[in-house]
Chains A and B, each alone.
Chain A
């Protein structure tokens, strides 16, 4: 089988790129894992998020903003093609504060970033009363919030499903249950799988999440990434009680309250722990006391894909030109950018986004 592109990894990142390339008339084969693979795409929190990103690297803040701004079209186009509602809401997101000091520090950081972004950082500070007008169920221990107008959230599982469906509709080949065992390049890339499948392609994108730890070095990348566990909760479906999402809780379009998330360095362990979920529950009830009476339905653990500085990596291989590493923590937020802007970078077009700061050159 021969295509213009072989995409290694069929999660939100790989499928977004595949979708974008297919829209430009390229032929694409996506190689995906199995039912037990670590899949950030089905464990994430569903935020389309700008605030607090790129505090030390304004390009990352801008890249997130560019993607968030393209999300409405992205969701509409996918929705029209598949009949699914992406559940996208972009009317702002909240960071909740429990002390004045904490809030002041964050505001000062946001001001610094705002200056670097030429003033494009629309946020406002909500005091306790203003916040309670917006979110009547906020508890007394929350003293205020920052409302950032570029934030929002979506239904990440419907995004995944829609991408999986539309990539096929557009003529992409998606092979599942594949484990890549070898990558070679002569005039074409030749990818071999554990089950004997062989794929040939002119270019290859490695977007396999944590799978890049093993595969990256074989393709000439440093791929210095690591797993970080996040445990997440979801409750029974409720009438509307939370308007805007925060990093603590959001109400999904189906009605459940999603509560997140732990940050744990526990290697490749995606278990749920009692300590983890009990503290998530306690923090959520502290912020929204009404949640105390709500039934927890499910919890899960998923692994984030983190680089040392938390920023994405976009790198073409020096050893194997035509092979690209794409990896990031925020696959949902960046889905629009990956579908709409990244193909220009992969194709080497003049209007390609400038992703120089995200290269592996930053890792010595």
Chain B
């Protein structure tokens, strides 16, 4: 029995594991990747040496966190995918083809974010992927998409574009969906955002680098669609009062990230719709504690705040957990948490500005009828609207009718879209509409691996 199991070795998980171990807790950190770092610091200990210059300081900052896992109190189980969490808390996972289990007194879910799916016409064609996926290829294997067009909205789009420029393969164009109106609406948050001024400066620098590299930018783009027969051949869109067509065999889409909530949902932690971030996020207190007393959530999985905020939140949760387990006093916990909370607030200060200035692309939140929303089962937006007409008030009924969310991705990529479509069709809020009921396995597992964990018993 460990004191703490952490799911996810990104910034929140790594920081929490180290802080907890320093306070004398025994920690098991489980992560899907073969090396620590999560998505943001993917493979950082290795790739920072090889490609640190291209990936930038924000990336190489992750090295210290990754090295922090080297501690006698921490067991890092790499290549471990968690398929089920049960009361108590017991976690079931697969590692190297074998089903395994571990238990702990406290659980920290640090499963981070995933890119908000961007269902536009043609998004399922080969050659279309997310900007984040392209960035992971760059981090992990140094591969850069040549002659790609980037489309969508948000800071990650600029970061990926800037990294592509540095890698010598500038994108053909940046097709941005945010409008001048979005920026004007965001201005009221600017005073608050100035507390997070380094982020704004970085954004300015990245845009300047793109300008120098001669990467064309289109803003306020609408009507985005990928054209092509067997694969992507062009991105078509309207901007500046006319239609554009950019020939490209690689289209990288991105319009923000959302909390990866499958693990938290699977154990029934209540979630609420966050209107500003246009996604569901788990309910938790300022230390990350959820409605289930012994389960904490930290990092982007608790609500999008970025890597630095995630690491701080991880430390705050670790302190609270250490206090639960009587390794530090309440007074010490408060003393150390207070400045962390202040810097977390500073990190989060820029979010309202960013969220408002770079909202998700409207047409991808409510795609036209012919656009596929569930890739696994090829269910279109029109299908979902039709199910609403047949009495489906929520995604679980729609799933029974049309199989959306029944595929291998477990609804990770269609869940938000399906909720939004049903909410709009039924005239309800996302909270009233609800979300898929997430059941094990939260990651695929073979029947053999699962069977191996069956306790013998007399029938």
Interface residues of A (CB under 8 A from B): 10, 32, 34-36, 39, 41-42, 157, 160-161, 164-165, 168, 174, 176-177, 233, 235-236, 254, 259, 272-275, 277-279, 281-282, 284-285, 291-301
B 388-412 contacts with A by CB, 8 A? 390-397, 400-403, 406-408, 410
Contact A174 B391 (CB under 8 A): yes
Contact A35 B407 (CB under 8 A): no
Residues in chain A near residue B24, CB distance under 8 A: none
How far is A300 from B392 in the complex, measured between Cα atoms in Å? 19
Per CB-CB distance, the 5 closest pairs between chain A and chain B, nearest first, are: A35-B394, A292-B448, A278-B454, A42-B400, A282-B451
Contact A296 B410 (CB under 8 A): no
How far is A39 from B407 in the complex, measured between Cα atoms in Å? 21
A175 to chain B, nearest CB (A): 8
Instruction: Give A284's nearest chain B residue, CB to CB.
Output: B447
Interface residues of B (CB under 8 A from A): 83-84, 86, 90, 92, 390-397, 400-403, 406-408, 410, 433-434, 437, 439-441, 444-448, 450-451, 453-455, 457
Contact B393 A299 (CB under 8 A): no
A293 to chain B, nearest CB (A): 6
Contact A10 B391 (CB under 8 A): yes
How far is A275 from B456 in the complex, measured between Cα atoms in Å? 10
Contact B439 A34 (CB under 8 A): no
Contact B450 A277 (CB under 8 A): yes
Given A274-B86, A297-B408, is A35 in contact with B393 using a C-beta cutoff of 8 Å? yes
Contact B445 A274 (CB under 8 A): no
Residues in chain A near residue B453, CB distance under 8 A: 274, 278
Contact A274 B440 (CB under 8 A): yes
- Which one of B83, B84, B397, B445 lies within 8 Å of A35 (CB-CB)? B397
How far is A294 from B441 in the complex, measured between Cα atoms in Å? 13
Residues in chain A near residue B400, CB distance under 8 A: 39, 41-42, 157, 160-161
Residues in chain A near residue B403, CB distance under 8 A: 157, 254
- Which one of A233, A259, A297, A300 lies within 8 Å of B444 (CB-CB)? A297
Contact B447 A274 (CB under 8 A): no
B257 to chain A, nearest CB (A): 25
How far is A174 from B397 in the complex, measured between Cα atoms in Å? 14
User: Can you pick out 18 interface pairs between chain A and chain B where the beta carbons lie within 8 Å of each other?
Assistant: A34-B393, A35-B392, A35-B393, A35-B394, A35-B396, A35-B434, A160-B400, A176-B393, A259-B447, A278-B453, A284-B447, A292-B446, A294-B447, A295-B445, A296-B446, A296-B450, A297-B410, A298-B441
Contact B441 A281 (CB under 8 A): no
Contact A164 B86 (CB under 8 A): no
B3 to chain A, nearest CB (A): 21
How far is A36 from B397 in the complex, measured between Cα atoms in Å? 9
How far is A281 from B391 in the complex, measured between Cα atoms in Å? 34
- Which one of B393, B402, B407, B451 lies within 8 Å of A278 (CB-CB)? B451
B386 to chain A, nearest CB (A): 9
Given A236-B444, A293-B446, A295-B445, is A275 in contact with B434 using a C-beta cutoff of 8 Å? no
Residues in chain B near residue A177, CB distance under 8 A: 393
Residues in chain A near residue B393, CB distance under 8 A: 34-35, 176-177
Contact A236 B401 (CB under 8 A): no
Contact A278 B396 (CB under 8 A): no
Residues in chain B near residue A294, CB distance under 8 A: 446-447
Instruction: Knowing that A278-B453, A292-B446 touch, tell me 12 more A-B residue pairs with CB under 8 angstroms.
Output: A32-B391, A34-B394, A35-B396, A236-B444, A272-B440, A275-B455, A277-B450, A281-B450, A284-B447, A293-B446, A293-B448, A297-B444
- Residue in A236, A278, A291 whose Cβ sees the most chain B Cβ within 10 Å: A278
Given A164-B390, A285-B447, is A277 in contact with B440 using a C-beta cutoff of 8 Å? yes
Residues in chain B near residue A39, CB distance under 8 A: 400
Residues in chain B near residue A282, CB distance under 8 A: 451, 454
How far is A164 from B391 in the complex, measured between Cα atoms in Å? 8
Given A292-B448, A296-B446, A298-B410, is A176 in contact with B84 using a C-beta cutoff of 8 Å? no
Residues in chain B near residue A168, CB distance under 8 A: 390
Residues in chain A near residue B407, CB distance under 8 A: 297
How far is A41 from B455 in the complex, measured between Cα atoms in Å? 31
Residues in chain A near residue B406, CB distance under 8 A: 297-298
- Residue in B83, B403, B434, B441 whose Cβ sees the most chain A Cβ within 10 Å: B441
Given A35-B434, A278-B454, A299-B440, is A292 in contact with B396 using a C-beta cutoff of 8 Å? no
How far is A234 from B394 in the complex, measured between Cα atoms in Å? 22
Instruction: Give A174's nearest chain B residue, CB to CB.
Output: B391
Given A157-B401, A161-B401, A298-B406, is A281 in contact with B390 using a C-beta cutoff of 8 Å? no
Residues in chain A near residue B434, CB distance under 8 A: 35-36
Contact B451 A160 (CB under 8 A): no
- Residue in A34, A164, A281, A300 whose Cβ sees the most chain B Cβ within 10 Å: A281
A137 to chain B, nearest CB (A): 13
- Which one of B396, B410, B439 lies within 8 Å of A36 (CB-CB)? B396
Residues in chain A near residue B86, CB distance under 8 A: 273-274
Contact B395 A35 (CB under 8 A): yes
Contact B401 A296 (CB under 8 A): no
Contact B441 A296 (CB under 8 A): yes
Residues in chain A near residue B454, CB distance under 8 A: 275, 278-279, 281-282
How far is A300 from B396 in the complex, measured between Cα atoms in Å? 12
Contact B395 A295 (CB under 8 A): no
B158 to chain A, nearest CB (A): 37
Contact B439 A272 (CB under 8 A): yes
How far is A164 from B84 in the complex, measured between Cα atoms in Å? 34
